[in-house]
Amino acid sequence: MKSLLVILIVVFLSACGTGGASGEQNSEEHPGFIGYIAKVEDNQILVTENKVDDEEANHENLDQFGEKAGQAIYFSLKDIDEDTINNLNVGDHIEVIHGAVAESYPGQSSAKEIHHID
């Protein structure tokens, strides 16, 4: 009986001690999204995984839009400088460094940095 209790305690303590901190830093420290600008508005842009045309970017039918666009996120531009905003055009291939993404479709997030990809 004692040995069974000891075995259960060892198993319990082993299970509690695994999967914790491994000392590695989170690789998603600065999450980025690479895609194409589908829409440019006053204070936000819509970036999609796949390139879409202007008509599709209006996404009245979200199912059809999702099939064509893939992942899509509206990014707020409040933290982006005016020069960068003025150089954003529909169709540009960009990487957006951003904050947390709201769980909607299209998603919503705040852009921290925007980089053009050649």
- Does the pTM of the predicted model rise above 0.95? no
10-29 pLDDT, tens per residue? Answer: 776 666 655 544 443 344 55
Distance CA 114, CA 78 (A): 12
Domains along the chain with CATH numbers? 30-116 (2.40.50.140)
Distances (CA, A) of 30 to 55, 60, 79: 32, 32, 15
Q: Are 51 and 18 in contact (CB under 8 A)?
A: no
43-88 pLDDT, tens per residue? Answer: 999 999 999 877 777 766 777 777 888 999 999 999 999 999 999 9
